[in-house]
Chain A
């Protein structure tokens, strides 16, 4: 076994995992605040990546990403106000189906607006070179880290950890935890619960956009395309593994799944082609059967 190769795989796995962690943390945040499972999270990611792409046609890469974030926030709030709020108080199945319907609609809308072909960031035609954030790729002692991996590790990972810290210590984090504990009690204490919930959706969309932009190659490695939807569905295995209502759990599970993917790509893919995409879903079934509350989830899961 080649030590440098293993180390490189670890870093690449962690880098991808950090992006997954960011997206899943936002997804879990929404679940904490509203008990709504957002099945449209993969489309949030897709829309976020395409927004960044559209802005990057006119701007350099970094400003494009930063400008996409407020737009994503507005999009998240819009979704909450338009489609989730009207279903407040209806049973779980209805809300799940509403987000599935939203996913289907957004999916088709993205195809119509941006077309089915894979884009390159900042390039209106194939002839142009794709734009990227400053290249940070480096190599030490046979371990090569791509620019994408470095950016994920220095941007996404701290961001995911920041969210955990904010949720624990910041004013809005405390408000959000209060609302997730009991919305009625929070309202009685004078907390503006609807606004907290809307902010949670907005933050979730922002996180999905950051993850989506980098997964889609803001730092090199492909471009936004429709494959992002399939990539985004990995959020569910990660959330289940992490415990579904735990933001730190989502971060840890994201990194873990990233590592598992990287190693499966390295060792298993040659034996069983395509297994890397299937492994997360095997993990889902195993976790749900053996330990439905995941790694860090509260044990009071809806069970019979």
Chain B
């Protein structure tokens, strides 16, 4: 009888206790529970075999999600991590795309990497105003940067091809594999994305990440505790721009061309929406947010197509409305985003039927 009651108590406490982390190693692990590790492995394998299962168009959308998640993750590190707002992420994506458009073919990964590095260098430059200003002022400074970048994309015709943009030849290959095939681009993107996601996840639980959180919560007290503000802010800007630049390089290969209208303010707002909808400051949030944000226009276009062609013309307008309303709803109703929503649902079922 005693053993039965003990095993029941154990089962109950396992069921109702939150995961307790006892040392730093557990805290830094990518997945802290056996189930977590199992699902992580499933997700990774799933990503690797995905191109073999999906037809052409869903593959294109999946690659878009990957790109949005990368750029969104970069903004996550900046906004959710270091608490610096940026309205210029699309411009960094653009920098990466234009740079990598000059180095495609067999050297495509090198071109993408180079695009990321150039974007990071520009990110440091943009980060310099953040040393003097913050909040709304910084938002306006990055807005100004977004417009100047747009101006340069359109006018520096030697490098960017002007309004018409640049395109890579349709027959370009990557070691014999056609770059026009979305599956090839997906694998190249994956080769960048997986390490970068793990890096970001690890980074946020190390010294650098904790430094950013300290700056986000209160930069003055962070400085008093010995945080090097200049370094923290500039690395946050550089890394965020790097992620954006890499995303841009992959985007360029996915579309096979690069034009200025892929990098306008509306896209910067889209990346912000990813951060807010996903839940600022977590890596999982970037993934969930980008799923949501990329799939909304797709769903809308299916709905619009079902209603009739006159609605398809208004698609971009409906998309802006959907983004705006989503941002507002999440900010007002669930500031922790989809991650918070998911946590609440999970807690509800884990503690059911005794929520207290």
Q: Are B132 and A37 in contact (CB under 8 A)?
A: no
Q: Are B141 and A285 in contact (CB under 8 A)?
A: yes
0/1 interface trace, chain A 99-129, chain B, CB 8 Å (1 if under): 0111111111101100010000000000000
Instruction: Say which residue of B128, B317, B332 sits within 8 Å of A86 (CB atoms).
Output: B332
Task: Assess A96 versus B136: contact at CB under 8 Å? Given A237-B144, A274-B151, A285-B145.
Answer: yes
Which of the candidate stretches A87-95, A199-207, A254-262 sits at the interface with the other chain? Answer: A87-95
Q: Are A97 and B320 in contact (CB under 8 A)?
A: no
Q: B33-91: which residues lie under 8 A (CB-CB) from chain A?
A: 79, 83, 85, 87
Q: Are B137 and A104 in contact (CB under 8 A)?
A: no
Tell me, in angstroms, the Cα distance from A98 to B272 when the chains sit together.
11
Contacts of A239 in B (CB 8 A): 140
Residues of A in contact (CB 8 Å), total 48
Task: Assess A101 versus B331: contact at CB under 8 Å? Given A108-B318, A112-B321.
Answer: yes
Contacts of B139 in A (CB 8 A): 37, 39, 96
Q: A57-104: which residues lie under 8 A (CB-CB) from chain B?
A: 83, 86-87, 90, 92-94, 96-98, 100-104
Contacts of A284 in B (CB 8 A): 140-141, 143-144
Task: Assess A105 versus B320: contact at CB under 8 Å? Given A87-B332, A112-B314.
Answer: yes
Q: Are A101 and B325 in contact (CB under 8 A)?
A: yes
Q: Are A274 and B154 in contact (CB under 8 A)?
A: yes
Contacts of B328 in A (CB 8 A): 83, 98, 101-102, 105
Please give the distance in Å from A97's CB to the nearest CB on chain B. 6
Q: Are B151 and A105 in contact (CB under 8 A)?
A: no
Q: Are B79 and A93 in contact (CB under 8 A)?
A: yes
Contacts of B85 in A (CB 8 A): 93, 96-97
Instruction: Say which residue of B131, B151, B219 sits within 8 Å of A278 (CB atoms).
Output: B151
Q: Are A302 and B133 in contact (CB under 8 A)?
A: yes
Please give the distance in Å from B125's CB to the nearest CB on chain A. 10
Tell me, in angstroms, the Cα distance from A282 to B326 when the chains sit together.
32
Q: Are A108 and B332 in contact (CB under 8 A)?
A: no
Q: Are B332 and A304 in contact (CB under 8 A)?
A: no
Tell me, in angstroms, the Cα distance from A184 to B314 when the chains sit together.
46
Tell me, in angstroms, the Cα distance from A240 to B143 when the chains sit together.
12
Contacts of B273 in A (CB 8 A): 101, 104
Which residue on chain B has the smallest CB distance to residue A104? B324
B167 within 8 A of A: no
Q: Are A100 and B327 in contact (CB under 8 A)?
A: yes
Q: Are A108 and B272 in contact (CB under 8 A)?
A: no
Contacts of B324 in A (CB 8 A): 101-108
0/1 interface trace, chain B 306-344, chain A, CB 8 Å (1 if under): 000000001011111111111110011001000000000
Q: Are B325 and A304 in contact (CB under 8 A)?
A: no
The residue in A86, A87, A282, A285 that gathers the most chain B C-beta atoms within 10 A of its C-beta is: A285
Contacts of A275 in B (CB 8 A): 151
Tell me, in angstroms, the Cα distance from A282 to B148 when the chains sit together.
8
Q: Are B136 and A108 in contact (CB under 8 A)?
A: no
Q: B142-169: which residues lie under 8 A (CB-CB) from chain A?
A: 143-145, 147-148, 151, 154-155
Task: Assess A289 versus B144: contact at CB under 8 Å? Given A108-B318, A240-B137.
Answer: no
A20 within 8 A of B: no
B346 within 8 A of A: no
A303 within 8 A of B: yes
Contacts of A236 in B (CB 8 A): 140, 143-144
Tell me, in angstroms, the Cα distance from A275 to B272 when the chains sit together.
28
Tell me, in angstroms, the Cα distance from A277 to B155 when the chains sit together.
12
Contact count band on B: 35 or more
Which residue on chain B has the smallest CB distance to residue A110? B317
Q: Are A93 and B132 in contact (CB under 8 A)?
A: no
Q: Are A302 and B335 in contact (CB under 8 A)?
A: no
B129 within 8 A of A: yes
Contacts of A237 in B (CB 8 A): 144
Instruction: Say which residue of B133, B136, B322, B332 sits within 8 Å of A37 (CB atoms).
Output: B136
Please give the distance in Å from A191's CB to the nearest CB on chain B. 25
0/1 interface trace, chain A 272-287, chain B, CB 8 Å (1 if under): 1111011001101100
Tell me, in angstroms, the Cα distance from A92 to B83 when the chains sit together.
10
Q: Are B272 and A100 in contact (CB under 8 A)?
A: yes
Contacts of B79 in A (CB 8 A): 93
A292 within 8 A of B: yes
B269 within 8 A of A: yes
Please give the distance in Å from B46's CB to the nearest CB on chain A. 32
B229 within 8 A of A: yes
0/1 interface trace, chain B 200-227, chain A, CB 8 Å (1 if under): 0000000000000000000110010000
Contacts of B223 in A (CB 8 A): 304
A288 within 8 A of B: yes
Please give the distance in Å from B334's CB to the nearest CB on chain A. 12
Which residue on chain B has the smallest CB distance to residue A282? B148
B305 within 8 A of A: no
Instruction: Say which residue of A100, A112, A240 sits within 8 Å of B269 (CB atoms).
Output: A100
A154 within 8 A of B: no
For the complex with contacts A97-B327, A284-B143, 9 further pairs of A-B residues with Cβ separation under 8 Å are A98-B332, A100-B269, A101-B325, A103-B269, A108-B321, A108-B322, A240-B137, A281-B147, A288-B141
Residue numbers of B with Cβ under 8 A of A are 79, 83, 85, 87, 128-129, 131-137, 139-141, 143-145, 147-148, 151, 154-155, 219-220, 223, 229, 266, 269, 272-273, 276, 314, 316-328, 331-332, 335
Pick 19 A–B contacts, CB within 8 A, sort by A. A39-B139, A83-B328, A93-B85, A94-B335, A96-B135, A96-B139, A98-B331, A103-B324, A106-B324, A107-B320, A108-B320, A233-B143, A239-B140, A275-B151, A277-B147, A285-B129, A285-B144, A288-B129, A304-B220
Top 9 A-B residue pairs of the complex, sorted by shortest distance between their CB atoms: A105-B324, A101-B327, A108-B320, A104-B324, A111-B317, A108-B321, A37-B136, A281-B144, A284-B144
